[in-house]
């Protein structure tokens, strides 16, 4: 197949391109900056922005399928940038798929489109979108996912996948952010860390996308649905952070921040950032604190049944791969101490 991956130079996007090329597909990417990694994979690069209709049109032309993976992600920040990239950009992708006769569109959504205060425990795809989202990111992704699913029809088969907390070798987001949180051997976190959380290894997320592509190609009538795709192995937040910090060679003691204090701090931070006109996407926020305090794990029955989905790598296997790809503690803050174990107390 000839497949366009939007955001192919990103963390998940690069893994998608790598796997598609490995199985013999002709792959192109729409990304804002040139990538030497994509060049080495033999991926044709279209440089441009999702907000630019002409750039999207050039990239989509001549493709058999599109994996729309590009997005602006974050836990804070003003709505407009999220809306421009995630909603307007997705509308452009859908429109150009129709204009150029593309038959298959797989959308990379997020499980956060249904997240709400109090968390989520074993929920399936029957749960509706949150009535009131805690941040612009999940709200914009919910709106974009709805656009993709509404576009499903005889001429364009669509499906939406909902990975959650994507991590793995060379992770530029989750594990490094966690490592930066450690100060003087302490990991300040709201609550006790006993909440169960689902995560998604990057290879698991990419595997699900390939399954969805093939399913829609062979059975386009199966589209129009969203699917949770995770490891299906929820762990406590305290255990997850312990594994990840140990892989990074960082010793840290869990330091409980009282939930009311964390919530008050997040509310104040949200207000101050709005007043200052800040565009920071990864600052302290109510959305972040709620996800750190409460459970969020999902029922994968639908993906297993309809897509034949099974994670190709276990959580423990994925953790074992992390250490060689993460920065050595000596390259980080001097307040961190390398270790071979994690102190969960």
Phi and psi at residue 197, to the nearest 5°: -135, 135
In whole angstroms, how far apart are CA 235 and each of 4, 97, 140, 192, 249?
34, 39, 28, 13, 20
CA 160 to chain centre: 13
- Whole-angstrom Cα distance, residue 78 to residue 176? 24
Q: Strand, helix or coil at 294?
A: coil
Cα 339–Cα 342–Cα 344 angle in degrees, nearest 5: 150
Residue 137: active-site member: yes
Strand pairing partners for 225? 159
- Whole-angstrom Cα distance, residue 193 to residue 50? 38
Check: CB of residue 30 under 8 Å from CB of residue 48.
Answer: yes
Alpha carbons within 13 angstroms on the beta-carbon side of residue 218 total 8
Query: Where do we find the tokens 């386009």?
Result: 220
- Whole-angstrom Cα distance, residue 91 to residue 167? 28
Q: Strand, helix or coil at 68?
A: strand
Phi and psi at residue 310, to the nearest 5°: -145, 130
How many contiguous H segments (helices) and E segments (strands) does the chain have?
13, 15
Check: CB of residue 230 under 8 Å from CB of residue 166.
Answer: no
Choosing from 82, 107, 137, 227, the catalytic residue is 137
Please name which of 304, 70, 89 lies closest in space to residue 207, comparing C-alpha atoms. Answer: 304
Q: Strand, helix or coil at 300?
A: coil
In whole angstroms, how far apart are CA 142 and each of 40, 146, 160, 209?
34, 6, 11, 18
Looking at the annotation, which residues are catalytic? 137
């Amino acid at each position: 197949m000839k497949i366009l991956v939007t955001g192919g130079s990103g963390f998940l996007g690069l893994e998608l391109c790598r796997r598609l090329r490995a199985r013999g597909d002709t792959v192109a990417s729409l990304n804002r900056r040139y990538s030497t990694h994509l060049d080495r994979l033999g991926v044709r690069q279209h440089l441009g922005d999702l907000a630019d209709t002409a750039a999207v049109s050039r990239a989509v032309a001549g493709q058999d399928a599109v994996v729309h993976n590009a997005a602006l992600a974050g836990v804070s920040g003003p709505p407009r940038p999220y809306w421009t990239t995630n909603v307007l950009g997705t509308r452009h992708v859908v429109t150009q798929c129709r204009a150029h006769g593309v038959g298959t569109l797989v959308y990379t959504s997020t499980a956060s489109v249904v997240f709400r205060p109090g968390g989520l425990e074993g929920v399936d795809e029957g749960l509706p979108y949150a009535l009131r989202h805690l941040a612009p990111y999940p709200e914009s992704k919910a709106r974009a996912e709805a656009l993709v699913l509404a576009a499903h029809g005889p001429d364009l088969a669509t499906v939406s996948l909902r990975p959650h907390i994507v991590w793995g070798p060379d992770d530029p987001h989750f594990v490094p952010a966690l490592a930066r949180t450690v100060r003087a051997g302490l990991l300040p976190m709201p609550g006790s860390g006993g909440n169960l959380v689902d995560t998604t290894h990057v290879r698991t997320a990419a595997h699900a996308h390939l399954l969805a592509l093939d399913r829609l190609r062979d059975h386009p009538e199966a589209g129009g649905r969203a699917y949770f795709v995770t490891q299906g192995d929820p762990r406590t937040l305290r255990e997850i952070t312990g594994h990840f910090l140990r892989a990074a060679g960082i010793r840290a003691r869990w330091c409980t921040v009282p939930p009311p204090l964390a919530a008050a701090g997040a509310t104040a931070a949200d207000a101050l950032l709005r007043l200052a006109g800040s565009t920071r996407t990864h600052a302290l926020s109510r959305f972040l604190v709620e996800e750190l305090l409460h459970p969020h794990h999902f029922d994968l029955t639908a993906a297993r049944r309809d897509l034949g989905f099974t994670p190709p790598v276990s959580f423990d296997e994925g953790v074992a791969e992390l250490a060689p790809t993460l920065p050595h503690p000596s390259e980080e803050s001097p307040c961190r101490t390398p270790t071979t174990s994690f102190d969960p107390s």
